[in-house]
């Protein structure tokens, strides 16, 4: 129990406060304070006393103060002092409902954020639940640490792996006594399989394909003439060519014949009619001639194509490729590999092609001339035939060797290199697994994994226990909250209250039910057009919900009889009915708790509690004293009186006790007292909008049938009192503050005013 705030220094408005007078706290302690005088500061001090955290006090250090924050509090059996930024004693048996509780546990501004949900969870499950939640957090931390250790050891183990496999599989590799022999055997097998793979991929030898010569066709072409041409025409043409032209004359004449049109010379346009030589040209260069010329050109093209550079290059590539392949295959396939020199092949092919083209060229120049194969060409053709036989022998050797090579390919294709390499890797990993310097690391790894497993099992069991506990707590908590919401007249309730582990930390989640429609809480990211906590509850509803959360938790608190419950302005945004209900619930909490402290800026709210609590009650006020805030005893009845009643007591006490204060204040109370009295006695005649001068005028002109007529007998008395009193009102006299005032004269007018007040 908190007995007294002995002193507060350099904290907010409390610059140098020391307790004076009767400010002892009791079971019910009501503290009235205007806003900004230190109510929230006092609540922060008590929160710091509860937790021992200095931040609640340090952040409120008096600005431009002369020292560090200090607090002294008298408890039931000891004292607690805050000095040098720490408490020498803490008092944890405190529960506080204030804006900090709301923002930490219910909502922040218009939103229910993840921190609010986690805070509410901690608040609801209490010490027992938080022990379980904390244990889970601790186990989580230990598991994370073990995961780090496991990860580090895995990295170290993997350095020894020849081929990466799972650490679990690596650790399970057995000891093999003859491991070195098995590794050597497997390595030899792989070497052989690697060659097999290369053998399977290697090409066979290629045959040489020589160009073919249609020698009989060429010989026929060279010796053919055109029999249809007359001997006379042939002799005339040949004689003319011999006498006038060179070796190209025949071609020139042949190409010129088509230009003869209308029997005219294409050069001079003279008539060629009946010229025998021209007729000889036409006979000589007829259709048969053109056919022969076409066959000659065809043979030339055929020889050129057969002996082209590309054909020769293909032969060269085959010979050179076979030489390279023979070098490779001779390692695995012994035998007689064919050999031939490309230069020899090229020389024969070049010689025969050049000679053939020369013969055909002469024939093309003189198609009508028979061309015989000269001895040189015959010799080159013989060389070509010898080459064909030599290449045939070469190709037969290629076929023979390819048979052997294919047999080798089939024989070596049965092995599985990938499997053998995998088996070797496993053997190497087995050898590495049981190296002396790695055995210790592997053993430590397995111990850490086993320990992590035990921690995870323990976490699972603790989570099950916490889940069962949470369900029991939250089921009852939801029921109690909805009962309070019903008492407060709220038109909504909460549903689906449960624990969530989203984000790793336990938190409380629930939904709002309005008109049997479930609404998500949402958060600051929720779209404005969607129903949520923000836009479905009024400010009063939100405050009511927060208060219901707090009260429901108090109902579940088995240690409440040993606790101090503090309410800081619990009626924010509440209407009259909910304020009254709040008073009832605070009194109810006070009946169960060790002590209840209520702080408020509303004296009527506190006075309502005051009137319902008969014993063990203390009322205190925080008020300004110079630049300091101090705590003094407070009279809630006096504070809540109306101005009308206050004016009466001021005048009555002045007459009874004499002048104890400002006489001018007494004089200024006369007129509002008379005005208030007239309004109460004649409420229908004197509405709130009727001024005092208008009241007197209504009395003056009242007829005998009106209620106000009875006041005409004392009208002159009222006017005389008013004439005196208005001298001290600024609205009537600009020198009201300096107007002379006499105690005896004032007493006289006060007596006269009270007589009218009492209807004498």
Q: For residue 564, what pLDDT is reported? A: 96
Of 372 and 78, the structure prediction assigns the larger pLDDT to: 78
Q: For residue 757, what pLDDT is reported? A: 82
Task: With a cut of 80, say whether residue 52 has pLDDT above it.
Answer: yes
Q: Which residue has the tokens 């929720």?
A: 526
Average the pLDDT over 564-571 and give the result.
90
SS (H, E, C) 493-557: EEEEEEEECCCCCCEEEEEEEECCEEECCCCCCCCCCCCCHHHHCCHHHHHHHHHHHHHHHHHHC
Q: For residue 301, what pLDDT is reported? A: 86
Q: For residue 229, what pLDDT is reported? A: 44
Of 504 and 334, the structure prediction assigns the larger pLDDT to: 334
Yes or no: say if 570 and 547 are a contact pair by the CB < 8 Å rule: yes
Give the pLDDT band (50/70/90) at residue 225: low
Ranked by mean pLDDT, which of 63-72, 104-113, 229-238, 291-300 comes out on top?
Answer: 63-72
Tens-place pLDDT, residues 62-83: 988 889 999 999 999 899 999 9
Strands annotated E in 121-238: none
In percent, the amount of the chain with pLDDT more than 70 equals 92
User: Could you report how far apart the first and last alpha carbons of the chain are, in Å?
Assistant: 54
Task: With a cut of 60, say whether residue 276 has pLDDT above it.
Answer: no
Yes or no: say if 202 and 328 are a contact pair by the CB < 8 Å rule: yes
The single-letter DSSP state of residue 641 is S
Average the pLDDT over 729-746 and give the result.
88
Domain boundaries, the chain: 1-93+559-635, 230-285, 641-757
Task: With a cut of 80, say whether residue 456 has pLDDT above it.
Answer: yes
Q: Which residue has the tokens 């501004």?
A: 109
Among the ranges given (252-256, 282-286, 299-303, 437-441), the one the predictor scored with the smallest mean pLDDT: 282-286
Among the ranges given (65-69, 85-89, 270-274, 631-635), the one the predictor scored with the smallest mean pLDDT: 270-274
Strand pairing of 94-97 and 493-500? unpaired
Give the pLDDT band (50/70/90) at residue 112: confident
Q: For residue 734, what pLDDT is reported? A: 86
Average the pLDDT over 113-130 and give the result.
80
Instruction: Tally Cβ neighbours within 10 Å of residue 642.
Output: 9
Give the pLDDT band (50/70/90) at residue 162: confident
159 Cβ contact list (under 8 Å, min separation 6): none
Q: For residue 275, what pLDDT is reported? A: 62
Average the pLDDT over 717-737 and give the result.
89
626 by DSSP, 3-state: which?
Answer: coil
Q: Which two tokens stand for residue 588?
A: 């109810």
Task: With a cut of 50, say whether residue 228 has pLDDT above it.
Answer: no
Among the ranges given (229-243, 470-484, 702-716), the one the predictor scored with the smallest mean pLDDT: 229-243
Among the ranges given (178-192, 467-481, 551-565, 582-596), the one the predictor scored with the smallest mean pLDDT: 178-192
Tens-place pLDDT, residues 643-687: 777 888 888 888 888 888 789 899 999 998 898 888 888 888 888
Among the ranges given (3-12, 355-364, 473-482, 692-701), the one the predictor scored with the smallest mean pLDDT: 355-364
Is the dihedral angle over the CA atoms 672, 677, 680, 686 positive or is it negative? negative
Region at 274 (left for phi over 0; alpha for psi -120 to 50; beta for the rest): left
In percent, the amount of the chain with pLDDT more than 90 equals 34
Tens-place pLDDT, residues 503-562: 777 888 889 999 999 998 888 888 888 888 888 888 888 888 889 989 998 998 889 999
Q: Which two tokens stand for residue 180?
A: 């070195």
Among the ranges given (32-46, 82-96, 376-390, 401-415), the one the predictor scored with the smallest mean pLDDT: 401-415
Computed over every residue of the chain, the mean pLDDT equals: 86
Q: Which two tokens stand for residue 241?
A: 């060519």
Task: With a cut of 60, say whether residue 280 has pLDDT above it.
Answer: no
Average the pLDDT over 295-322 and give the result.
88
Q: For residue 230, what pLDDT is reported? A: 47
Q: Which residue has the tokens 């055109």?
A: 226
Rg of the chain in Å (alpha carbons): 61
Among the ranges given (63-72, 535-544, 633-642, 748-757), the one the predictor scored with the smallest mean pLDDT: 633-642
Task: With a cut of 90, say whether residue 55 has pLDDT above it.
Answer: yes
Q: Which residue has the tokens 């504070």?
A: 639
Task: With a cut of 70, say whether residue 250 has pLDDT above it.
Answer: no
Select 1-93+559-635's CATH number: 3.30.1330.30, 1.50.10.100, 3.40.50.2000, 3.40.50.300.
Answer: 3.40.50.300
Give the pLDDT band (50/70/90) at residue 265: confident
Among the ranges given (196-200, 582-586, 587-591), the one the predictor scored with the smallest mean pLDDT: 196-200
Dihedral Cα 104, 106, 108, 112, nearest 10 deg: 120
Strand pairing of 79-83 and 2-11? unpaired
CA 688 to chain centre: 63
């Amino acid at each position: 129990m908190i007995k007294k705030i002995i002193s507060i220094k350099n904290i907010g408005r409390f610059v140098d406060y020391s307790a004076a007078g009767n400010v002892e706290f009791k079971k019910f302690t009501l503290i009235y304070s205007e806003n900004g005088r230190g109510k929230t500061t006092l609540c922060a001090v008590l929160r710091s006393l509860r937790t021992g955290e200095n931040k609640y006090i340090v952040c409120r250090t008096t600005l431009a103060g002369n020292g560090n924050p200090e607090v002294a509090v008298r408890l039931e059996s000891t004292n607690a002092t805050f000095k040098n930024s720490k408490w020498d004693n803490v008092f944890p048996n405190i529960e506080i409902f204030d804006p900090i509780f709301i923002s930490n546990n219910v909502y922040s501004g218009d939103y229910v954020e993840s921190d609010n949900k986690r805070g509410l969870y901690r608040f609801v499950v209490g010490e027992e639940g938080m022990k379980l939640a904390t244990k889970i957090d601790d186990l989580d931390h230990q598991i994370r640490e073990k995961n780090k250790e496991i990860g580090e050891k895995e990295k170290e183990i993997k350095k020894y792996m020849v081929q990466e496999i799972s650490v679990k599989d690596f650790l399970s590799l057995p000891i093999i006594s003859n491991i070195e022999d098995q590794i050597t055997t497997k390595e030899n097998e792989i070497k052989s399989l690697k060659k097999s793979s290369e053998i399977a991929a290697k090409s066979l030898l290629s045959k040489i394909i020589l160009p073919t010569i249609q020698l009989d066709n060429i010989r026929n072409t060279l010796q053919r003439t055109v029999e249809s041409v007359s001997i006379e025409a042939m002799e005339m043409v040949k004689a003319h060519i011999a006498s006038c032209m060179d070796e190209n004359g025949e071609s020139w004449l042949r190409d010129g014949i088509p230009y003869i049109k209308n029997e005219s010379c294409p050069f001079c346009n003279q008539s060629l009619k009946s010229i025998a030589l021209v007729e000889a040209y036409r006979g000589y260069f007829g259709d048969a001639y053109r056919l022969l010329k076409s066959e000659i050109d065809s043979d030339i093209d055929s020889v050129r194509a057969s002996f082209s550079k590309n054909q020769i290059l293909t032969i060269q590539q085959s010979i050179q490729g076979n030489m390279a392949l023979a070098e490779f295959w001779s390692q695995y396939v012994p035998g007689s590999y064919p050999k031939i020199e490309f230069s020899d092949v090229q020389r024969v092919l070049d010689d025969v092609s050049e000679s053939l083209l020369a013969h055909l060229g002469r024939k093309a120049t003189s198609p009508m001339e028979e061309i015989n194969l000269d001895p040189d060409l015959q010799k080159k053709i013989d060389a070509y035939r010898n080459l064909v036989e030599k290449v045939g022998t070469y190709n037969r050797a290629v076929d023979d060797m390819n048979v052997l090579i294919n047999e080798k390919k089939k024989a070596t294709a049965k092995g599985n290199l990938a499997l053998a390499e995998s088996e070797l890797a496993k053997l190497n990993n087995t050898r590495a697994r049981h190296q002396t310097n790695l055995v210790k690391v592997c053993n430590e790894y397995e111990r850490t994994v086993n320990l992590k497993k035990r921690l995870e099992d323990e976490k699972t069991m603790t989570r099950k226990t916490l889940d069962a506990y949470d369900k029991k707590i939250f089921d009852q908590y939801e029921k109690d909250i909805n009962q309070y919401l019903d008492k407060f007249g709220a038109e909504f309730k909460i549903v689906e209250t449960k624990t969530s582990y989203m984000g790793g930390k336990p938190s409380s989640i629930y939904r709002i039910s309005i008109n049997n429609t479930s609404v998500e809480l949402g958060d600051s990211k929720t779209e404005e057009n969607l129903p949520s906590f923000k836009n479905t509850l009024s400010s009063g509803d939100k405050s009511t919900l927060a208060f219901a959360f707090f009260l429901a938790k108090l109902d579940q608190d088995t240690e409440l009889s040993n606790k101090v419950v503090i309410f800081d302005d619990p009626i924010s945004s509440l209407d009259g009915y909910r304020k009254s209900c709040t008073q009832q619930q605070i009194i109810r909490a006070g009946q169960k708790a060790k002590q209840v402290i209520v702080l408020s800026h509303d004296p009527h709210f506190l006075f309502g509690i005051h009137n319902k609590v008969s014993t063990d009650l203390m009322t205190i006020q925080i008020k300004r004293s110079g630049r300091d805030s101090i705590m003094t005893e407070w009279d809630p009845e006096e504070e809540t009186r109306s101005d009308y009643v206050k004016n009466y007591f001021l005048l009555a006490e002045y007459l009874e006790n004499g002048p104890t204060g400002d006489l001018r204040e007494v004089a200024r109370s006369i007129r509002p007292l008379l005005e208030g009295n007239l309004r109460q006695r004649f409420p229908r005649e004197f509405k709130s909008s009727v001024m005092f001068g208008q009241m007197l005028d209504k009395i003056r002109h009242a007829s005998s049938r009106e209620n106000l007529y009875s006041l005409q007998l004392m009208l002159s008395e009222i006017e005389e009192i008013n004439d005196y009193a208005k001298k001290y009102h600024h609205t009537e006299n600009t020198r009201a503050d300096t107007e002379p005032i006499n105690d005896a004269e004032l007493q006289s007018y006060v007596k006269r005013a009270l007589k009218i007040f009492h209807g004498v």
